[in-house]
Each structure stands twice: as structure tokens, then as C-alpha cells.
Structure 1
Amino acid sequence: MSNKTQARRRTSGPDRDKVAQDLKKKYDSGASIRALAEETGRSYGGVHRLLADAGVTFRSRGGAPHRTES
């Protein structure tokens, strides 16, 4: 099965719940949504949706803080 086909596959029921909980554990341990998407062959949006359904509290976006000129 190619990555494109796998990314479009829908998981439902208990399997979906298990996938969501596994992703939640990894996200809560510091993995990024993009890394999880790449690892599982799912889209960023698909991983984000599964995490939201699993009750994840999302981290703020990364990057260096902006400095204001004085």
C-alpha cells in the first residue's frame, strides 16, 4: 500500500480510538504533529483531528519569540 493510499484510509471504531490514543501518548511526550503524520503516513490534518478527538491540549506553535525594538 502506498503512502498516498494509506493517508486516505479511514480508521473507525475501536481501531481509530487506539490509533488516537497512541498518537496522543507520542504527542504528549514531545513529538510534533508533522513528525507523527510522517511516521504514520497520515496527513497533518488527519493527525490533528485524531489528537483533538483524543482530548489533547495542543502546544503553542514553536519558533523563537519576537523581540520588540526599544
Structure 2
Amino acid sequence: MVETLKKGVRVTGPQRDKLAADLRRKYDGGKSIRTIAQETGRSYGFVHRLLSESGVRLRSRGGATRAKKVRA
């Protein structure tokens, strides 16, 4: 389980590898980067960077998209 980390604390070495593996497991399980960031107390950018460094293929953005207007 990913523990909540103090904001601004550097994560290096084996601790960073373990954290990256935990974050990857959560992301592969379907959680969003934003949700993982809230759970761990880290920023969106930190989680995104750690996932990218660990080789995760990031999903595309979700949510509503704008439909094209049909002209009469």
C-alpha cells in the first residue's frame, strides 16, 4: 500500500523504486494520476513523472469531448 508522503521530501534509491512500483500497480488497476496524487499527498506532476520514469504507458485523457456542431 502506498503511504502518504510529506510534500517536498525527496524520494531516492530503493525507496523511489518501491514507490514507483506501488504507483504503477494502482495506475494499472485503473486509478487516475490525480487520484493517486491525492492518496499519496504528492503532486500530479510528481506522480506523472514517476510513472513515466518507470516505463508505464500512460492512458489518454478521458472525460467529455466536444461534439462537432452540425450546420443546417
Amino acid at match of 1:9: V
Q: Which structure's residues are more often helix, by fraction?
A: 1
How far apart, CA to CA, are the structure 2 residues paired with 1:41 and 1:68?
A: 38
- What is the TM-score with the length of structure 2 in the denominator? 0.83
Match of 2:17 in 1: 17
Moved over 4 A (4+): none
- Asked whether 1:31 is paired with 2:47, we answer no
TM-superposition CA deviations, 1:18-62 (whole Å, max 9, x none): 100110010011101111111001111111111011111111111
How far apart, CA to CA, are the structure 2 residues paired with 1:52 and 1:20?
A: 9
Please list, as runs of the form range in 1=range in 2, the aligned pairs for 1:1-70 lying within 5 A after superposition: 6-70=6-70
How far apart, CA to CA, are the structure 2 residues paired with 1:53 and 1:33?
A: 14
Of residues 26-35 and 59-68 in structure 1, the stretch that sits farther from structure 2 once superposed is: 59-68
User: Share of identical aligned residues, percent?
Assistant: 55
CA RMSD of aligned residues (A): 1.6
* Structure with max Cα Rg: 2
